[in-house]
Structure 1
Amino acid sequence: MTPIALLAQAVALPDTVVMVPAGSGGWRIWLDTMAGIAHILIALVMVGISAILLGILFALRRLSRTARASVGGALQRLEAEARPVLEHARAIGSDARVVSTTLRKDFEEFNQTIMSANQRLNLAAEAAEERIARFNALLEVMQQEAEDLFIGTASTVRGIRTGTAELRRFRTPAPSPSAEEPVDGE
């Protein structure tokens, strides 16, 4: 910008601040050069890091191939060795299933037997309670009859005693006045 243009702006906009770029000096060139060199160095470092990462990637790929081959061989050996163990475990599982089924069946039969015995025991207990109730009723009747018989027998015996005592009194002659007894007038 020319000085006249700046002056025209200053008159037109008195409250606006106008910034004028500084002229290209020696330090500005030096700063631009250093920034360019830094950009080149950063680009070289990035290329170097990319090359290193690419090398690591190829090394990991080779390592994964060898690991896959060794793991595959180990898995084949493990499968060959584990096959009898797995078949034996499968047979044990099958046997356990058979034993479990047999035990379940036996337990169900045992449970049914217990339930049947419990039902019969309850019926027997009810029948015994009924018989005991009848026997108690019979004992009450027998006790009542025995009491009545005892009272009747006791009253009969008392009546017989009283009757015999009365008969004895009439049978025995009345004591005559004996000589020893003074007669009333004498």
Structure 2
Amino acid sequence: MTALFQAQVFLLLQQAPALSDTVFTKEVSEQTAFQTVTSIASGLMSVALLVLTVFLVPAAWNFRKSYEKINKLLERVYGDINPIVRHVSTISDNVDYITTSIRVDVQQVNRTIAEANQRLNHALALSEQRLNEFNALLQVVQREAEGAFITAAATVRGVRVGAETFQSEALSASAPPFTDPDYEEFYDGDDDYPTETLRESRPRIRPRTRG
């Protein structure tokens, strides 16, 4: 096995100088217009990529620096705005609490006003009822007073008429007999006048005896 391997190596070493002295030739064909345009375009693209790389690397570096600056600025602004946002949230909670308290107070005030209005209407109704009752009482009192006044006036008038009648009767009893000649001639019974009828129709006044 080892002898066979050594023989093959020896043959290869002998063929190596022969291969180095052998010249191989290859026929190169002419490039077409498409291949020429393609090669030129490939070169232009390579140059453009190179130029773009040259300009983009500094731009990317500057963009990174700008991004870091913007990030730091945003962190600073966030640090400054965070307390403000916290205070705004607290203020919003306080405003909400105050609004709720005011709403509750307004509801209580409205309820109180409604109750007061109801009581006022009830009091007005009672006052109107009492006033109507008082007016009815005044009407009754007025009627009673008018009746009493009329009764008193009638009584006074009756007393006055009775007093006048009593006075006239007293004066008639104390006056002397009437001596008019014409009266005697009219009532002497000698004339043709119906004296009996006149005497019966004439009122008779008798004097009252005083005991």
* TM-score strictly above 0.5: yes
**Residue among 42, 57, 65 paired with 1:50:** 42
What is the CA–CA distance in structure 2 between the aligned matches of 1:52 and 1:139, rounded to whole Å?
Answer: 116
Unaligned runs of 5+ in 2: 1-30, 188-211
Unaligned runs of 5+ in 1: 1-38
Cα shift at 1:104: 0.5
Cα shift at 1:179: 9.0
Q: Which has the larger radius of gyration?
A: 2
Residue identity opposite 1:133 in structure 2: A
Residue identity opposite 1:60 in structure 2: L
What is the CA–CA distance in structure 2 between the aligned matches of 1:84 and 1:166, rounded to whole Å?
Answer: 119
What is the CA–CA distance in structure 2 between the aligned matches of 1:57 and 1:104, rounded to whole Å?
Answer: 62
Which residues in structure 2 correspond to 1:161-180 (within 5 Å)?
161-173=153-165, 174=168
Residue identity opposite 2:143 in structure 1: I
Q: Does 1:59 align with 2:23?
A: no
What is the CA–CA distance in structure 2 between the aligned matches of 1:46 and 1:84, rounded to whole Å?
Answer: 54
What is the CA–CA distance in structure 2 between the aligned matches of 1:99 and 1:105, rounded to whole Å?
Answer: 10
The TM-score normalised by the length of structure 2 is 0.60
Cα shift at 1:42: 4.5
Which deviations, in whole Å up to 9, do the C-alpha atoms of 1:123-165 show, x marking residues without a partner?
1211121111111101100011011101210121122112211
What is the CA–CA distance in structure 1 between the aligned matches of 2:143 and 2:121, rounded to whole Å?
Answer: 32
Counterpart of 1:10 in structure 2 is: none
Query: How many residues of Structure 1 are paired with residues of Structure 2 in the alignment?
Result: 147
**Residue among 59, 83, 87 paired with 2:75:** 83
Which deviations, in whole Å up to 9, do the C-alpha atoms of 1:66-114 show, x marking residues without a partner?
2121111122223334433221111111110011001101111111111
RMSD: 2.9
What is the CA–CA distance in structure 2 between the aligned matches of 1:147 and 1:58, rounded to whole Å?
Answer: 123
Residue identity opposite 1:168 in structure 2: R
Percentage of pairs with the same residue: 10
Counterpart of 2:122 in structure 1 is: 130
Higher relative contact order (CA 8 A, sep 6+): 2
Cα shift at 1:43: 4.1
**Residue among 143, 146, 150 paired with 2:135:** 143
